[in-house]
Structure formats: structure tokens, C-alpha cells
Amino acid sequence: MFEHHRKPLLSRREFMERQLRYFGFSLLILAFSIGIGTAGYHYWGNLAWVDSFLNASMILTGMGPVDHLETNGGKLFSAFYALFSGISFLTFVAVLFAPVYHRFLHKFHLDVEDGGEEETGSRSDRS
């Protein structure tokens, strides 16, 4: 997982390797989500594969559906897929940016600790 806040920051190279791993995992989440949507729109919405992919992509990114669905199964799938897509997209973004957010907080914490130690040391010298 991530290094403890008391450990030094990773080198840029190690950080980029970590970021690439998380990018790959986030792409898997995205591909899985689009795959579910494409298959569902094709099966329950009676849409062609390309139209199913278009609708799944548009719902997943929050743009909304393109095609009007006629069947009750298609409408129900579309509703549940929209709910799933909101969570899936947030998960995709969270996984993608987790290493960057951690590095920022880790760097901030190291800066605060370093500043606090210097301040404490200078106070004891004055006393």
C-alpha cells in the first residue's frame, strides 16, 4: 500500500511506477463498468453493440442516455446502471488520484513535522 507518514517520500521514479499501476487498475474498473453497460443495453435494451457502447459510455460519464428504450427490462437496466455508474465513476477517479493525494498529504505532513522540530529546537536553545 502506501508508505507510513514517518517514512521519507518515494523517489519520483517509484512514485511514477505506483501511479502507472493505479492508472492500470482504474482502467480495469472503467473497462468492467463499460462492459456491463454495453452488454446490458444490448441484451435488455435491444440495441446494436455500437449503440449499446455509446449509451453505456454516456451514462458512465454522466451525460445521459442517447437512445430511448422501449422495453421495461431496458428501462430498469438503464435506471440501475445509472446508479451503478455514479459509484463506478467516483471509484475510478478515487483510484486514479489516490497516489497523488497521498503524496501531497505525505509531503505536507513532512513539512509540518520538519517545521515543528526546528521550532522546538530553537525554543530550547533560548531557554
Average pLDDT per 10 consecutive residues for the chain, totaling 127 residues: 62 83 92 96 95 94 88 93 93 85 69 52 47
pLDDT confidence of residue 82: 93
Domain boundaries, the chain: 12-98
pLDDT confidence of residue 4: 58
Measured CA to CA, the distance from residue 27 to residue 92 in angstroms comes to 8
pLDDT confidence of residue 19: 87
How far, in whole angstroms, is CA 11 from its chain's centroid?
A: 23
Q: If DSSP states are collapsed to H, E and C, what string results for 32-90?
A: HHHHHHHHHHHHHCCCCHHHHHHHHHHHHCCCCCCCCCCCHHHHHHHHHHHHHHHHHHH
Contact 47, 67 (CB under 8 A): yes
pLDDT confidence of residue 28: 95
pLDDT confidence of residue 32: 96
Measured CA to CA, the distance from residue 11 to residue 32 in angstroms comes to 32
